[in-house]
Amino acid sequence: MTRLLQPVTAGVVTGIVGFASSFTVVLAGLRAVGADERQAASGLLALCLANGVVAIWLGLRRRMPITIAWSTPGAALLAATGAVQGGFPAAVGAFAVCGLLVVAAGLFPVLGRWIAAIPAPIAGAMLAGVLLGLCVAPVRALAEIPAMAVPVVLTWALLSRFARMWAVPGALLVAVAAIALTGPGLGAVDVRPVVVPTVPSFGVQAMVSIALPLFLVTMASQNVPGMAVLAGYGYRPRLGGILVGTGLATVAGAPLGGHAVNLAAITAALAAGPDADPDPGRRWIASVTAGGSMIVLGLGSGLATALVLLSPPVLIEAVAGLALLGALASAVTAAVADPERREAAVATFVVTASGFTLFGVGAAFWGLVAGGAMTLLHGRRKDRAGSGESTGETGDSGDSGESVEGAGGPGKSAGGAGEGSGAGESGAHGSAGDPGESGLPGNKAGASRGETRLAQR
């Protein structure tokens, strides 16, 4: 019994941190795309149940600490996208299609390779643009409701220095205390868990504005770094089976309002690391316990939603923004890391953050389009410049040996650039490059350090 205490405790902590650090983001995202308070509570409950069931199933079957989470960057995407034509039923249809795309990525490795082919700076810039709106909420809260926001932000700042893992949960507790002291109380609020089915509808706008960007964000910011974390601790499960499981769970949870289920990344380290158990072969107990904890916490989704409804909207957005600051920092770092793709990344970031809508399609999609167009344009310009430089040097020299040297110059430069890009993207390209197979390539430490920070959870 004593041997179970450490992994069980680690699993409970993993579940609590995962839930408390980002459930506000989930509720904000669902409300933004048209869910009412009961539908949002139902969506949160569905995600908790789906996370728990898949985590328990994978842990027991594979005897590995495979922690499952909801897509926090995906919820931030919903908050940035807003309502689409067809309302919440259309959003629910997009959630289901996203789940089907994840299943397809697990069944057909080529789809995972296509996702991995998206340059890391472009993916990082899109994520940064999506997160920016929520991440400025703490500043707005300080200006609009300083009496409530100042204690929340100070608590987060102090805990992020001395107990980083508890920074967001601590800030949330302070926010709850502020709501309890200034609000009307929970007496008139039904805090029981609710299940509200929504019949999905399927429209082109919702598919392009929600389903496709949600799939890309979930893959690039959750599943890929989640595999990197597991590989960093020596675990190499087959990603294809995990994608099929989480994709099916997403499809099942969509009619109840759940947006996306996927591998955990940051909280995965709590269950997969040595703090969970000195014996790597017993750490799966922590992930299974974390799954059970999420199911229990899901039963409190009605209370969590009630707290959000009783608070000033900007206060809850502030807590969500604090939870996403680390992800924003990592996304910005990834976006500007490669000088040759920096302009394309900035274009992606600006378009995504603008909230620009065209033909009813949201800014995240157009940000990817802008970044892709800039990448192609600059790539061709560079190729022409390199060809001209090589031709010019060859013509001036009139010497075969010097001609070879001149032609080799641009080639060497291009090779150097390729190496620099590869160092930055190895985590994404390695783990998602073969979704149907197990593990990651050799540079797993770089992937763990670089890619993992892109995910919020």
Chain CA centroid to CA 233, Å: 20
Residue 456 pLDDT: 40
**Region of poorest pLDDT, from 84-98, 164-178, 273-287, 382-396:** 382-396
Encode pLDDT of 156-205 as tens digits: 999 888 887 788 778 878 887 887 777 665 555 566 788 999 999 998 88
Q: Are 129 and 349 in contact (CB under 8 A)?
A: yes
Q: What angle do CA 148, 149, 150 make, to 5 degrees?
A: 100
Is 296 domain-assigned? yes
Is 77 domain-assigned? yes
Amino acid at 428: A
What is the distance between the alpha carbons of residues 113 and 436, in angstroms, rounded to a whole number? Answer: 10
What is the distance between the alpha carbons of residues 394 and 399, in angstroms, rounded to a whole number? Answer: 8
How many other β-carbons are positioned within 10 Å of the β-carbon of residue 80? 22
Residue 454 has pLDDT above 50, yes or no: no
Segment 57-72 shows an average pLDDT of 93
Concatenating the DSSP letter of every residue in 304-342 gives HHHHHHHS-HHHHHHHHHHHHHHHHHHHHHHHHS-GGGH
Is 407 domain-assigned? no
Residue 28 has pLDDT above 70, yes or no: yes
Residue 361 pLDDT: 58
Domain hosting residue 142, numbered range:
7-375+418-454
Is 389 domain-assigned? no
Measured in residues, the chain has a length of: 457
Q: In the chain, how many domains are there?
A: 1
Is 410 domain-assigned? no
What is the distance between the alpha carbons of residues 251 and 301, in angstroms, rounded to a whole number? Answer: 20
**How far apart are the two ends of the chain, measured CA to CA in Å?**
30
β strands within 3-120, DSSP E: 68-70
What is the share, in percent, of the chain residues with pLDDT greater than 90?
25
What is the distance between the alpha carbons of residues 264 and 58, in angstroms, rounded to a whole number? Answer: 13
Residue 83 pLDDT: 87
Query: Which neighbouring-strand residues pair with 238?
Result: 438
pLDDT class of 397 with cuts at 50, 70, 90: very low
Residue 453 has pLDDT above 70, yes or no: no
Is 387 domain-assigned? no
How many other β-carbons are positioned within 10 Å of the β-carbon of residue 344? 25
- Cα–Cα distances in angstroms (integers) from residue 132 to residues 67, 79, 143, in the given order: 27, 11, 18
Pairing mode, strands 261-263 and 68-70:
antiparallel
Is 348 domain-assigned? yes
- Mean per-residue pLDDT of the chain: 77
Q: Are 443 and 426 in contact (CB under 8 A)?
A: yes
By CB neighbour count within 10 A (0-12 exposed, 13-18 middle, 19+ buried), where does 2 fall? Answer: exposed
On the CB side of 12, how many CA atoms lie within 13 Å of its CA?
Answer: 5
Residue 423 has pLDDT above 70, yes or no: no
- Cα–Cα distances in angstroms (integers) from residue 14 to residues 130, 266, 308, in the given order: 26, 10, 22
Residue 207 pLDDT: 92
Q: Are 366 and 374 in contact (CB under 8 A)?
A: no
Locate 364 and state its tokens.
């995240």
